[in-house]
Amino acid sequence: MGPGLGSAAGLGQPPPPPLTDSSEIPAASEQHAETQREYAGVLLRGYAFFMDYAVFILLGALCMALLEEFNILLSDDLGFLVGVAVIIFTLVWLYHAGLEASVMQGTLGKRLTGIKVINQSGMRCNLGQTSMRFITKLLSALLLGAGFIMIAFTKRKQGLHDIIAGSLVIKR
């Protein structure tokens, strides 16, 4: 009899190969990390959104008061108004994309609600990903909020902007 043919373990089949392929190990650890993640749902993300925009409203009111004090607010110059809009958009983009790509991994609202933005590998997103995430939030809003509503119905609680940017929002 050959080796293993007479034992119960052999049963005429060769033994399984030893686990030496290192490519299998990260896949198992990624799967484990996937099960350990707790995704942030619509309500928690909504709270973070309202916290962020409460700060924007307060800062906006302060800026409006200063502009009014110096009679800058009442301008009929379309170029000036477009310039102000571009500056505001840029500041809001830098706030969202910059903080989500930073070591904070989220805006102040996300930080206060205990959530953060990561990429598909579980690492911090880069500025390109967070910028794409910010821009595509506008698309989600243009679709009558459907891109945000998706969060409640997807397995990993991703909105359209998360899927496009390859990001996840998880609890810390």
Distance CA 50, CA 46 (A): 6
What is this structure's pTM? 0.74
Can you give the pLDDT at residue 24? 45
- Give the pLDDT mean for 162-168: 97
What residue ranges do the domains of the chain occupy?
38-171
pLDDT of res. 23: 43
Q: What is the pLDDT of residues 62-113, one digit of tens each?
A: 887 877 776 665 667 777 778 878 888 999 999 999 999 999 999 999 999 9
- As a whole number of angstroms, the distance between CA 162 and CA 133 comes to 6
State pLDDT tens for residues 4-53: 444 455 556 666 555 544 444 455 555 555 668 999 999 999 999 999 99
Q: How far apart are CA 73 and CA 152, in angstroms?
A: 41
Calculate the CA 168 to chain-centre distance.
5
pLDDT digits over 125-160, tens only?
A: 999 999 999 999 999 999 999 999 999 999 999 999
| Amino acid identity for residue 128 in this structure | G
Give how far Cα 165 sits from Cα of 12, 86, 129, Å. Answer: 50, 23, 5
